[in-house]
Amino acid sequence: MRGRNSWRRHIRKRGPRSAKVRVQNALHIMPWVMERGGSTVEEIAQQFGLTKEEVLEDLSTAMVCGVPPYGGGDMIDIVVFEDGTVEASPSQSFYRTLELTHVEIFGLSVLADAAAQLPGMRRDKRLASAIAKLRDFLGGDVVDVETEQATYLDVVWEAAEKGQKLEIEYLSPSKDVATQRTITPRTVFSDAGHWYTVADDDLSNESRTFRIDRIQDVRVTGETVEIIATTALAPLWFPDDGTLPVVRAHLKAAAAWVVESYPCRDVTENDDGSFEISIVVNSPHWLGRLALRAGSNIVISKPVEFIDIAQRTAQTVLSRYLVASESAD
């Protein structure tokens, strides 16, 4: 009885439940139902401290779990009858002996190490145990994976899970301005190597996307609000509404990272590995920083007002440095 009550305290959560909670519930419910050869929605609800509606929601989540190519025999088979009876059985894939090659086990180990770096997973004993077993099998053929983490990723992640409001200082590199604002993170996601949060922004009274590594300071206000399920969609960076300037530039092969990192358009690759590109400029400050990074590997041909932006940006940086040095003296 103690174990069941402990599980109930873990599984219950006020407000809308995240996909993570629904999947965790399904992983506990399915073996319990299969072991008994079936059950009912009411029995499941009583066993795991859920409402009947939550049980049906979790079973619906389990129904879409499976392995590629996601055909009929690759999905978990769950049937809920009109009288509330539940029957479940694993897909045919679960009956096949899992035989991995050494290369596949190595790849699995690398993925597991990367997963262990994610928020909420660093203290997961089950994942740590699995990684230890993989390392024992691989012996010395192990690669340690270290992922770049934003300073306040864990704080923002927890705020999204609990509906907490945060006061942050946020840097906008395109404008080179830091603003103070209060946000309510709704979801956290990763895109193109960076972590972001979709949050309610009190400064603009709109839902905004913030890059977490640009948060320079954060304070938990202690104020909580209702948790709202939010779908994380990768934002359309550099939206071209026809009002932003478009720069035409030549990139040497050494600056190919510009094409890979930013949504360039009208990209033409030359035989020597260089590129001719057009790129939307969301601010002169951003373009100046990009030009400094690329150095002599980028040559802007038009519009004329941006041709010498690298030199102007370098002069601005030098002036700030000299002022700072004089102040220090």
Can you tell me the distance from the alpha carbon of 309 to that of 306, in angstroms, rounded to the nearest whole number? 5
Whole-angstrom distance, CA of residue 233 vs CA of residue 154: 20
Per-residue pLDDT tens for 218-235?
Answer: 999 988 888 876 665 656
pLDDT reported for residue 235: 60
318/94 Cα distance (integer angstroms): 63
- Which tokens in the block code for residue 294? 């690329």
pLDDT at 141 > cutoff 90: no
- pLDDT grade for 166, boundaries at 50, 70 and 90: very high
What are the strands of the beta sheet with 194-201, ordered from one edge?
206-211, 194-201, 177-191, 164-172, 215-224
| pLDDT for the residue 298 | 92
Instruction: Let me know: does 289 contact 173? Beta carbons within 8 Å.
Output: yes
- Cα–Cα dist 62/292, whole Å: 51
- Whole-number average pLDDT of the chain: 77
145 pLDDT tier (thresholds 50, 70, 90): low
Taking residue 234's Cβ as centre, other Cβ atoms within 10 Å add up to 11
- For position 276, what pLDDT does the model report? 93
Count Cβ atoms below 10 Å from residue 99 Cβ, excluding itself.
Answer: 6
Give the predicted TM-score (pTM) of the model. 0.44
Mean pLDDT in residue range 298-318: 88
Q: What is the pLDDT of residues 234-258, one digit of tens each?
A: 565 555 556 778 899 999 988 888 8
Percent of the chain surpassing pLDDT 90: 9
**Six-digit token pair at 91?**
């897909």
Half-sphere exposure of 102 (CA within 13 A, CB side): 7
Q: Concatenated DSSP letters for 21-54?
A: HHHHHHHHHHHHHHHTT-EEHHHHHHHHT--HHH
Cα–Cα distance for residue pair 202/220, rounded to 1 Å: 15
